Structure 1
Amino acid sequence: MHPGPTGGKVSGASIAGRPSLATPIKESGDGAGEARDLDEKNAYALFAAILAGEFPAAEIGAVSGALQSKGASLIEMQGCMRALYAHVGRLEATAERPRPVILPTGGGARRQPNLTALLALLLKRYGVPVLVHGLARGEVDVASGATRDGETDPAASAAGFGRVTTLEILLELGIEPATSLADAQARLAQNQIVYAPAAVLAPGLVPLLDDRARPRTRSFARSLVKLIDPFRGDGYRVVSVTHTGQLRRMRDFLSATNADALLFRGTEGEPFANPLRQTQVETFAKGIRSICAEKESCSLVAIPPLPATIDASTTAAWIAQALAGEMPVPAPIIAELACCLQGARRAIAVV
């Protein structure tokens, strides 16, 4: 609902040229919301309007929550992604190199060390360009549960924040985030690795990603962000999920869109394989699915040595040791690395 010209309330459907946020939710007689699917055209129009800032936060939260709760359909995801790509900056892949691997980071890890940076730097070592994208520097404070003055926010901690983000670890390793698309392109060409904040890669998504007051909105937006390919088909996406239902929906999307990607259950929303248990890793080549790494039914027999604590400084130091050969890289991450290398090199023509 929006204020009308005279200050009254009018429905979204009555505003010319603007989709209605009531469309995704069918109101039942007792007032409970019964979710129903949108078609691709309406999903596109709705999400395009949301990204354009045409709706207030409360309405966006309601519709995003409905989509997240019921699980967005394949058609809805396709429509939303079509709208999203109008707001995603474009990066160019170098034809002489393997296709860039895209690692979308989540809100960080808080139960075990975040090893996304290890995977990224291993890929770089093998000559694969790597794009990592996620939270911006200013948003790290929100994810870690700290206020802008550096003090701990008890409310944030109680809400489940206090995570260690990939950006925090990359900063410890001397990798600064890109400040613009041009900067991201230059870093990718010169260093073969770049961290692109959402504000650089897809500015229209930032309001949906960084507001802790609307967790379901943020969750739905992050599901879509995992599917971004700024290289417009030349990138190789590493898509991680946290729940079985998400796994099925992402699988359907990657197959239907002829994607080249990896799909697996990640670690706390981060795109690295659980170092303590081999998970199944699925690979998609032009939408054709196969199994790249088989799931193990039990934990690894030999527990790999991991960082003693999960803080960014300790994790970064351990990653540096692993890259130097002083610490063994966990077998599940080696398996994921092999799958990424296989997918990235499919873009290389055989002469």
Structure 2
Amino acid sequence: MTDSAAPTFACARYIKEIGRGPNGARALSHEDTYALYEAILEDRVSELELGAVLLAYRVKGETSAELAAMLSAAHRSFEPLHVQDGREHARPVSIPSYNGARKTPNLVPLLSLLLAREGVPVLVHGVTDDPGRVTSAAIFAELGIAHAASHDEIEDSLASRRLAFAPIAVLAPKLARLLALRRRMGVRNSTHTLVKILQPFADPGLRLVNYTHPEYRESLTGLFTEHPDAAAGGALLARGTEGEAVADTRRQVQVDWFHDGHVDTLISPEHSQPHAPPIELPETLDAATTARWIECVLRGDVPVPPAVVRQVEVIVDVVRKPVVDQANPI
């Protein structure tokens, strides 16, 4: 509920544009989109109008320009992280984890631990629970890696062990409030896209960005190519594994690197590998079983899935390259 003492932000003229349905809706200007999303983040929009705005965007979808404006407002809603370079001056990497696993093991914690072992500072941020799914948060807990409880703890963990898991409620509480509306409204909203493209670092680091539906690939490609600030630090874009930014062990997917105003395809377009040797994965998907399997992989008792090996190699290579464009979106 919006604080009655807080100034209200009238949304009628915005809803009139974005709420005309899939065929009649029009995109807002950058200035209007920024003002609207900033007001939403600051809790200056009534619940009635907030619901209308979120559902309108759910039906209409966000243009790349609208995403850029929302992302800019999102970045200014939380304190960015300051992180030292890793070994050999590796820039930090952020991995969003908001989906979890239902059909395949969640290997985000394995990916992050392998990168940290290479000296790359890795921030995994996401939700702490999601009914019916195995979250990265639950697997980290089984591995004995505590969830950061404050901004300082995130930075301390990145400095001491090159790895931190930050609940979104700790990293960016205003965004977390909007994510939580899914359980009340029954559908996702624009914030679910924004947290997956968030640049959490003061000195921009590399982001792993994934998509599930082809239309999101198009809008994200437009975002990173048409709005250079949105791509600051670089972004690796690929089709996700159940919505998680970790390589799919069943097939190779295309990976594009957006950086310095350019885009390079680092891994070839997706294709299945029907004759590839079988990969030894956890027998069940629960957090405890997945954690024990990850420990076996890290000890060398079980091989790292080839697709994950390739993903680690690509990320390590990218974060050790010099960055030409250091424009800071924060």
Q: What is the TM-score of this pair, normalised by structure 2?
A: 0.87
Aligned equivalent of 1:47: 37
Aligned equivalent of 1:135: 127
Question: What number of residue pairs does the alignment pair up?
Answer: 312
Task: For 1:261 and 1:47, locate their aligned partners in 2 and report how far apart those are by CA, in whole Å.
Answer: 23
Q: Is the 8 A contact 2:82 2:203 kept in 1?
A: no
SS at match of 1:290: strand
Aligned equivalent of 2:328: none
Code of the aligned partner of 2:235? A
SS at match of 1:213: helix
Deviations 1:142-165 (A, max 9, x none): x12xxxxxxxxxxxxxxxxx0000
Code of the aligned partner of 1:231? F
Deviations 1:300-339 (A, max 9, x none): 4223111111100111111111112221222222222122
Q: 1:32 to 1:94 in 2, by over 3 A?
A: closer
Quote how far apart the aligned CAs of 1:55 are: 2.0
Deviations 1:248-298 (A, max 9, x none): 111111223332010001111111111111111111222311111113422
Consecutive aligned runs of 4 or more in structure 1 exceeding 3 Å deviation = 24-28, 31-34
1:342 and 2:320 aligned? no
1:171 and 2:141 aligned? yes
Quote how far apart the aligned CAs of 1:204 are: 0.6
Aligned equivalent of 2:235: 261
Quote how far apart the aligned CAs of 1:243 are: 0.7
Quote how far apart the aligned CAs of 1:299 are: 3.3
Q: Is the 8 A contact 1:164 1:312 kept in 2?
A: yes
My pick for the range that moved more, 272-281 or 95-104, is 95-104
Code of the aligned partner of 1:200? V
Q: Is the 8 A contact 1:99 1:347 kept in 2?
A: no
Q: 1:247 to 1:33 in 2, by over 3 A?
A: closer
> For the pair shown, which has the larger CA radius of gyration, 1 or 2?
1
Quote how far apart the aligned CAs of 1:202 are: 0.8
Aligned equivalent of 2:190: 220
Code of the aligned partner of 1:18? F
Code of the aligned partner of 1:304? I
Deviations 1:154-185 (A, max 9, x none): xxxxxxxx000000001111111111111111
SS at match of 1:346: coil
My pick for the range that moved more, 65-74 or 98-107, is 65-74
Quote how far apart the aligned CAs of 1:66 are: 2.1
Deviations 1:67-106 (A, max 9, x none): 2332211211111111111212211121463111100111
Code of the aligned partner of 1:284? F
Task: For 2:139 and 2:220, locate their aligned partners in 1 and report how far apart those are by CA, in whole Å.
Answer: 28
Task: For 2:305 and 2:75, locate their aligned partners in 1 and report how far apart those are by CA, in whole Å.
Answer: 35
Code of the aligned partner of 2:14? T
Q: 1:236 aligns with which of 197, 206, 209?
A: 206
1:111 and 2:100 aligned? no
Q: Is the 8 A contact 1:19 1:45 kept in 2?
A: no
Aligned equivalent of 2:180: 210
SS at match of 2:124: strand
Task: For 1:305 and 1:75, locate their aligned partners in 2 and report how far apart those are by CA, in whole Å.
Answer: 43
Quote how far apart the aligned CAs of 1:18 are: 2.8
Code of the aligned partner of 1:316? A
Q: 1:32 to 1:242 in 2, by over 3 A?
A: closer
Task: For 1:343 and 1:192, locate their aligned partners in 2 and report how far apart those are by CA, in whole Å.
Answer: 17
1:186 and 2:156 aligned? yes
Q: Is the 8 A contact 1:93 1:100 kept in 2?
A: yes
Aligned equivalent of 1:320: 295
Structure 1 runs not aligned, ≥5 long: 5-15, 145-161
Deviations 1:16-70 (A, max 9, x none): 9834155144466xx9983210000000000011111122344323322222332
Question: Over the residues paired in the alignment, what is the CA RMSD in angstroms?
Answer: 2.4
Code of the aligned partner of 1:167? A
Task: For 1:252 and 1:210, locate their aligned partners in 2 and report how far apart those are by CA, in whole Å.
Answer: 28
SS at match of 1:194: strand
1:246 and 2:216 aligned? yes
Q: 1:270 to 1:219 in 2, by over 3 A?
A: farther
Aligned equivalent of 1:63: 53
My pick for the range that moved more, 293-302 or 125-134, is 293-302
